[in-house]
Amino acid sequence: MAPLSGTLSGFRRYEQIECLSGETMRTLAVLSRKGGTGKTTVALHMAVQAEMSGRRTLVADLDPQRSTSEWSRERSHFAQTPLVTEARVGTLFTQRLAAARDGYDLMVIDTRPSTDLECAEAVRWADLCLIVVRPCYFDLKAITRTVELVGNMNKRGMFLINQAPSRRNGEEPRIISDTFEALLDMGLPVAPVGLRYRAAYQNSVREGRVAQEIDPTSLASLEVTALWDHVSGAIWPDSVQRTAGDGPLAMVS
Ligand SMILES: Nc1ncnc2c1ncn2[C@@H]1O[C@H](COP(=O)(O)OP(=O)(O)OP(=O)(O)O)[C@@H](O)[C@H]1O
Ligand SMILES: [Mg+2]
């Protein structure tokens, strides 16, 4: 598999919102034109991991399906963070300003499967766009428009391979390296840690939790933590130690 060296170095400087505290709030948009790739699952796992690592986090639910808000209602029986707020194109700007003023460190935006106005609005305010893609032909075909949207708006993007199949007889399925190569050819970096297809993601979200809360020693937890290390390193390049990203795509078993 091709090494990732250098793929993150081309990131541009990006807009920052100054909080009253003098800190800057950052925004992570999770998107893909294709439905069901795992945007909501990834947004929630990243948001909870951000909170666990001390970043005060707000999730903006920009998808009219409101899956994130449903998760939050389930979660409200036992936890109040991360806060989830329903958002629309016309409200996102003010919600972002209010969150920055309230001292949030991070806004994670969950988007609908499209590249339409709502998605463009998320990209507009994003410091980093995490583009979720399953390792399959149709997802790769559909991703081009999302890549164009991010490029046209001069934003930083990163692919995440989600729902990757397990190794067979110890061998990584060929589709993963093929997907990795195809994504690199599109000119954006690929997160060096992908997420496997695991029941832990489905079961945890159903009860208003995330996989790393159910079992911090699980493989799902390991890969989410490694992914967050990398994503947070891209969002806050100066303050986070990167544990992955200097080598080829690393998939947890
Ligand atoms: N890594 C994974 N392993 C197993 N199941 C997953 C994984 N990621 C997502 N799923 C499952 O895939 C389905 C779709 O996930 P999710 O709702 O997060 O996708 P989405 O991109 O937000 O969908 P939509 O486009 O409808 O908003 C859900 O049943 C979810 O539990
Ligand atoms: Mg969703």
| Residue 104: per-residue pLDDT | 97
| Residue 56: per-residue pLDDT | 97
Judged against a pLDDT cut of 50, whether residue 20 lies above it is answered with no
Nearest residue by C-alpha to atom 23 in ligand 1: 36
Under DSSP, the state recorded for 201 is: H
| Residue 241: per-residue pLDDT | 52
Distance CA 29, CA 61 (A): 11
Instruction: With beta carbons less than 8 A apart as the criterion, state whether 176 and 165 touch.
Output: yes
- 136 in a structural domain: yes
Q: What are 128's strand-pairing partners? A: 28
Judged against a pLDDT cut of 50, whether residue 14 lies above it is answered with no
Tens digits of residue pLDDT in 164-194: 999 999 899 999 999 999 999 999 999 999 9
Mean pLDDT of 68-88: 97
- 245 in a structural domain: no
pLDDT > 70: what percent of the chain? Answer: 87
Quote the domain boundaries for residue 138. Answer: 17-235
Give every CB contact of residue 70 below 8 A, 6+ residues apart in sequence.
Answer: none
Residue 83 Cα to ligand 2 midpoint, Å, equals: 17
Judged against a pLDDT cut of 70, whether residue 13 lies above it is answered with no
Tens digits of residue pLDDT in 107-129: 999 999 987 888 999 999 999 99
3-class SS letters over 19-77: CCCCCEEEEEEEECCCCCCCHHHHHHHHHHHHHHCCCCEEEEECCCCCHHHHHHHHHCC
- 106 in a structural domain: yes
- 107 in a structural domain: yes
Residue 18 Cα to ligand 1 midpoint, Å, equals: 33
Mean pLDDT of 26-30: 98
Q: Residue 40 belongs to a domain with what CATH number? A: 3.40.50.300
Distance CA 122, CA 129 (A): 9
- 248 in a structural domain: no
Residue 201 Cα to ligand 1 midpoint, Å, equals: 8
Q: Count structural domains, the chain.
A: 1
Instruction: Select from 68, 162, 202, 206 the residue to mutate for testing ligand 1; criterion: most ligand atoms less than 8 Å from CB.
Output: 202
Lowest mean pLDDT among 4-13, 64-73, 117-126: 4-13
- 93 in a structural domain: yes
Q: Please give the mean pLDDT across all residues of the chain.
A: 88
Nearest residue by C-alpha to atom 16 in ligand 1: 38
- 241 in a structural domain: no
Give every CB contact of residue 250 below 8 A, 6+ residues apart in sequence.
Answer: 192, 193, 226, 244
Residue 35 Cα to ligand 1 midpoint, Å, equals: 9
Tens digits of residue pLDDT in 203-240: 999 999 999 999 999 999 999 999 999 999 999 987 75
Under DSSP, the state recorded for 245 is: S
Continuous H helices in 81-116: 89-101
Instruction: With beta carbons less than 8 A apart as the criterion, state whether 26 and 99 touch.
Output: no
- 6 in a structural domain: no
Instruction: With beta carbons less than 8 A apart as the criterion, state whether 42 and 30 touch.
Output: yes
